[in-house]
């Protein structure tokens, strides 16, 4: 199925700094490709359709599922998130290393489909720091924030199922650790 390319699954609780890590990673490794997910969540002010996500309606998301164009999907909070299938197939055939930013259930689904996918979980220095970062970001209301912290705790539990765990207390060090993993696998 994936004879040439490979998938790197990148998970971590909301607010842990995945986007910042990935931004620096892509600067250092421009050969990597990023899978843009589809979501029914509202676009945040700084986000760009087609770059950060494909922001689509619930109806369109369901159509994508029905037509087999979603490789995996999950509900996170009240919203749906999923990985479009076609770009993944194309990139794998081209031998690319593909980064998927994905929560724990999605990562599990992908691991079943692609046995050689490498999974990396990003941990915050502490739960307190995570909550502070999420509050500072200011993109969620109090109810959403509480929900995200609840999900975060249950996700952190599942970090033990990942191939690698990285603490994000220093951006440069964390990115270098990720590059080390990519070079090793």
How far apart are CB 173 and ligand 5GP at their closest, in Å? 21
Query: Exposed, middle or buried by CB within 10 Å (0-12, 13-18, 19+), for 176?
Result: middle
Taking the least distance from each CB to ligand 5GP, the nearer of 16 and 182 is 16
Rank residues 51 and 184 by Cβ distance to ligand 5GP and give the closer one.
Answer: 51
The least distance separating ligand 5GP from the CB of residue 115, rounded to whole angstroms, comes to 18
Tokens, residue 137 = 């970001």
Least Å from the CB of residue 52 to ligand 5GP: 8
Q: Select the residue whose beta carbon is closest to ligand 5GP and give its number.
A: 106
Cβ distance 182 to 97 under 8 Å? yes
Nearer Cβ to ligand 5GP, position 81 or 162?
81
The distance of closest approach from Cβ of residue 74 to ligand 5GP in the complex, given in angstroms and rounded to an integer, is 4
Interacting residues with ligand 5GP (CB under 6 A): 14, 37, 41, 72, 74, 76, 81-83, 101-103, 105-106
Token readout for 181 is: 């993993």
User: CA–CA separation, 51 vs 69, rounded Å?
Assistant: 18
Cβ 64 vs Cβ 83: under 8 Å: no
Burial of 179 (0-12, 13-18, 19+ CB in 10 A): middle
Residue 102 or 178 with smaller CB distance to ligand 5GP: 102
Measured from the CB atom, the residue of 3 and 78 that comes closer to ligand 5GP is 78
Min dist CB 94 to ligand 5GP, Å, is 20
Percent of the chain that is helix, strand, coil (3-state, to 5): 45, 25, 30
């Amino acid at each position: 199925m994936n004879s040439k390319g490979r998938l790197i699954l990148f998970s971590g609780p909301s607010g842990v700094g995945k986007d910042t890590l990935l931004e620096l990673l892509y600067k250092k490794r421009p050969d990597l490709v990023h899978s843009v997910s589809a979501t029914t969540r509202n676009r945040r002010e700084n986000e760009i359709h087609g770059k950060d996500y494909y922001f689509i309606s619930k109806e369109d998301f369901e159509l994508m599922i029905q037509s087999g164009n979603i490789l995996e999907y999950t509900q996170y909070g009240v919203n749906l998130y999923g990985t479009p299938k076609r770009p993944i197939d194309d990139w794998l055939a081209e031998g690319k290393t593909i980064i998927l930013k994905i929560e724990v259930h999605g990562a599990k689904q992908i691991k079943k489909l692609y046995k050689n996918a490498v999974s990396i979980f990003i941990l915050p220095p502490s739960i307190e720091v995570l909550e502070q970062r999420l509050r500072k970001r200011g993109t969620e209301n109090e109810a959403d924030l509480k929900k995200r912290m609840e999900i975060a705790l249950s996700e952190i539990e599942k970090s033990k199922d990942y191939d690698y765990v990285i603490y994000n207390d220093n951006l440069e060090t964390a990115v270098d650790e990720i590059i080390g993993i990519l070079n090793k696998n």
